[in-house]
Amino acid sequence: MIKRHRWSITLAISLVICFLALQEVAVRRAQALSNDTYQELDTFASVLAIVQKNYVEPVTTKQLIDGAISGMLASLDPHSAYLTPDLYRDLEVETRGSFGGLGIEITIKNGALTVVAPIEDTPAYRAGLKAGDQIIKIDDDFTKDMSLTEAVKRMRGPKGSKIKLTLHRNNVPELFTVTLARDVIKIQSVKSKMLPEGYGYIRVTTFQENTGDGVEKAIDEFESKDHGKIKGIVFDLRDNPGGLLNQAVKVSDDFLDGGLIVYTQGREENQQQKYFAHKKPGFVDYPMVVLVNGGSASASEIVAGALQDQKRAVILGTQTFGKGSVQTILPLDDHSALRLTTARYYTPAGRSIQAVGITPDVDVELPKETLASITQEGGEFDENPEIHERDLPHHFQNGQKKDQNNPAPGTSAAPAPGATKGDDNGPGAKGAKAKEEKDVQLDRAIDILKHWNTFKMQLAKGEPAPAVPGATADSGNSN
């Protein structure tokens, strides 16, 4: 009896202690939230109860809460999102460079699900999807009011499974449908080759795990082919939507001999970060041109901005996308996660490119599309097919004054509205079966490398980009 009595007393004391501990946690949380917040949460709870009681079909609390969280984050900016456990798992797989799907970058523009760019050597690329295509239906379901998260989920799937996309294209008078077979998207993020003129060419399609290693391997191969020397490099970041920050830093470090690469600023102390390149014995400052366009975003802009501010390379092409924000993945207890915008990033010269982009030193547009080049009857060409950060709903500004938004280094202004998207050798191209067209941006880059000393001297003096003999950079109509 005594033992039983002691056990009862011990259990009672334990329960009291647990109750007091929980009360303490509740008090602390209450202190962290304002009265206004609790009033709004009361409203939310009322709406939740009304919907569950009166909606035409039964709906679970989890469905409603997930939808509320998704809507809350979507209202902040285009890049914050709620990741369900499945989507969080997909994201982890994607950063390793392999996932089941179509190989397509999408966003919401003017309320419509819109293609930013197809990724090279994927079902979307081979089917001829183009930047600016609006996805009206996925299978038989309209995409109006469909979230990006839901659209991505619908397009992912096992290899070989079919999906039907109904598209609207600006130069096609009627909607058309394409059927694609999903594939395992294995993105080879780094591709390299030697150009006929003896210069190295490196293309980075996205920044994922091991991208930095791939770039270093390409540099080593170039050096081994030319007795330890590099004549010059064209570094192609066109239509590269970004990726991992640490890989952008590593790639920048490969081309720099010390100095600041990028820094971030957010509201919390741990969001104030600076990233530096290492000093390298025997570093050779070989000629280098970086190609960019409206599809170059985020991590691509970090690299281009660092190389531009440190006067390491000439940036050539058209104005970049303008995504100057940092997203942090915050895991939750149920294996879901928040992708939350937590900071802005700045180039070494202190430029925030959020909603502005990197202005190239040499502005070279691709030939504009003409009615004569459109094969569809009744076709029209889009005067402004590029999508930039400033076009997206809920985008935020860069927090700098207007005279700071611009462009530092560089002698050219932002491209005119007629600039076309992408290059025909990368994402955003017209598809694998399209007619090969001349890459005027690559040609101009090679011309600059050939006349490097003259070009660098004039650019260093702040003079306009010099005309180079034999250059074919004019953005006139193609024949």
Catalytic residue among 90, 253, 309, 447: 309
* HEC letters along the chain: CHHHHHHHHHHHHHHHHHHHHHHHHHHHHHHHCCHHHHHHHHHHHHHHHHHHHHCCCCCCHHHHHHHHHHHHHHCCCCCCEEECHHHHHHHHHHCCCEEEECCEEEEEECCEEEEEEECCCCHHHHCCCCCCCEEEEECCEECCCCCHHHHHHHHCCCCCCEEEEEEECCCCCCCEEEEEECEEEECCCEEEEECCCCCEEEEECCECCCHHHHHHHHHHHHHHHCCCCCCCEEEECCCCCCECHHHHHHHHHHHCCCEEEEEEEECCHHHCEEEEECCCCCCCCCCEEEEECCCCCCHHHHHHHHHHHCCCCEEEECCCCCCCEEEEEEECCCCCEEEEEEEEEECCCCCECCCCCCCCCEECCCCCCCHHHCCCCCCCCCCCCCCCHHHCCCCCCCCCCHHHHCCCCCCCCCCCCCCCCCCCCCCCCCCCCCCCCCCHHHHHHHHHHHCHHHHHHHHHCCCCCCCCCCCCCCCCCCC
From 323, 412, 439, 475, the catalytic residue = 323
Active site residue 298: yes
Residues whose CB is less than 8 angstroms from the CB of residue 333 and which lie 6 or more positions away in sequence, other chains included:
none
Options 147, 189, 298, 412, the catalytic residue: 298
The residue length of the chain stands at 479
Residue 115 β-bridge partners: 106
Contact at 8 Å (CB) between 245 and 210?
Answer: no
Q: Give the active site residues.
A: 298, 309, 323
